[in-house]
Amino acid sequence: MANAVQSYHHGDLRSALIEAATARLSEHGVDSLSLRKLAEDAGVSRTAPYHHFKDKSALLSAIAAKGFSDWHTAAKRIFEQEDKTPQVRFREFVHEYIGYAADNPEMYELMFGRTIWQNQAATNDLKNVAFPCFQFQVTMTRYWQEKGLLPNNQDALRLAQVTWGTLHGIARLLIDGIYADSSHIKEMCDCAADLFMQKQA
Amino acid sequence: MANAVQSYHHGDLRSALIEAATARLSEHGVDSLSLRKLAEDAGVSRTAPYHHFKDKSALLSAIAAKGFSDWHTAAKRIFEQEDKTPQVRFREFVHEYIGYAADNPEMYELMFGRTIWQNQAATNDLKNVAFPCFQFQVTMTRYWQEKGLLPNNQDALRLAQVTWGTLHGIARLLIDGIYADSSHIKEMCDCAADLFMQKQA
DNA sequence: GTTTTATCTTGACAGTGTCAACATAGCCTT
DNA sequence: AAGGCTATGTTGACACTGTCAAGATAAAAC
């Protein structure tokens, strides 16, 4: 920092790139995110990033990994509120999931988009953060099944895939602009929650 | 065709471009689809396509429109099988929806991806084909509600959004490579169908 | 037959990711 | 302290991309 002028090296380019990328991501979207611009943001030449990331996809994976770890802790916080009933927590989880996606559309797009997942492009670092996040969905589902909230005659993994799929699908319809009308998000969340918990209704 | 050598004009470049694009789409994916390659496929210069499409997005929209109209007729065919019970047809619809996505991943990605929908980029031609397709989902939902298949205490539009969201979400998880394991597609479809129809279970 | 319009052409520009070859800064060993 | 190794930075180059501008020709309209 202090020796920025003197020192040939940047100091912590890797962090600087991720930081710049995160800023650009939420502002201009994942599509208009170029390595060259990020390098310029960090005050460094075009190819410098390649000494810290194998390629563009690796950089994106690193950002997505941060997103997954953030969401994982958020999900745990919601799930572990012992002062609330499972029903309330479930409904809250649904709202928070869609809310997270709606509030951070570009980050969500990056985390769950094909850019970093397709063609086995996903980094091991990314998988190590994302898979526990997916697994947590199964854990929660099993818990809600035990509490009689979700149907007990279904395999937990299968049911987790479907419930997660529902949230994911609604989130994507909103984010991708297919449903431009985002004024009824809350109603949609409640409808989904009601549908899953209809045995209690 | 016959006068291809003599004639300065291509003849039906618009159709040729769409055809070439559709072929390339299913083979190499939407991401590696460039106007220049398509022009080359059609035996024409790089900028010729601009006399038939405003820009790349307009070409993609035209292809997607074809996909929507194809799917719409497929959906109607499934829905209108009068010799089968509503239950059977509903389950079949779920399987066919995911099946269509799994069999034509790149087309599905194009149809429901942000590429053509974001930033109000969608052509009017596209909207005119896609919106009736969405609307049909609501029509079917209302019918299944009347038949007692789906919960009747929910708004049809809202419920259609959620059921469609579920199918869409599962389809995307599969297509985007987040669930590489596609060997349990059928089980997931059955689980989703069971979940929606659980009142009858 | 002349004019207008649709269609296609080449040239150019500003981008992009990424590789190769080279330079230096900082640490590690002797 | 000297030399060498490695991490980190540099410029140059290549092959792409979408898209605009300006010019040419074919086809249709008058």
In the numeric block, the tokens 């009601």 are attached to A194
The two tokens of residue A73 are 């802790």
User: Taking the domain A9-52, which CATH number applies?
Assistant: 1.10.10
Domain with CATH 1.10.357.10 in chain A: 61-196
Class of domain B64-196: mainly alpha
Residues 44-103/B with CB within 7 Å of nucleic chain D are 46-47, 50, 55-57
Q: What is the pLDDT of residues B138-174, one digit of tens each?
A: 999 999 999 999 999 999 999 999 999 999 999 999 9
**Cα–Cα distance list, B183 to B95, B115, B165 (Å):** 14, 29, 22
Q: What length does chain A have?
A: 201
Cβ-Cβ contacts under 8 Å between A and B: the total is 127
First to last CA, chain B: 59
Domain with CATH 1.10.10 in chain A: 9-52
Mean pLDDT of B162-190: 92
Cβ-contact A37, A24 below 8 angstroms: yes
Q: Up-side HSE of residue A194: CA atoms within 13 Å toward CB?
A: 17
Region at A43 (left for phi over 0; alpha for psi -120 to 50; beta for the rest): left
- With beta carbons under 8 A apart, name residues in chain B contacting A188: 158, 161-162, 165
For every one of its 201 residues, what pLDDT tens digit does chain A have, with 9 covering 90 and above? 333 344 667 889 999 999 999 999 999 999 999 999 999 999 999 999 999 999 999 999 999 999 999 999 999 999 999 999 999 999 999 999 999 999 999 999 999 999 999 877 889 999 999 999 999 999 999 999 999 999 999 999 999 999 999 999 999 999 998 876 788 899 999 999 999 987 654
Cβ contact (<8 Å) for B161 and A170? Answer: yes
Q: What is the pLDDT of residues A30-88, one digit of tens each?
A: 999 999 999 999 999 999 999 999 999 999 999 999 999 999 999 999 999 999 999 99
Domain with CATH 1.10.357.10 in chain B: 64-196
Query: From CA A68, how far away is CA B83, in angstroms rounded?
Result: 48
Class of domain A61-196: mainly alpha
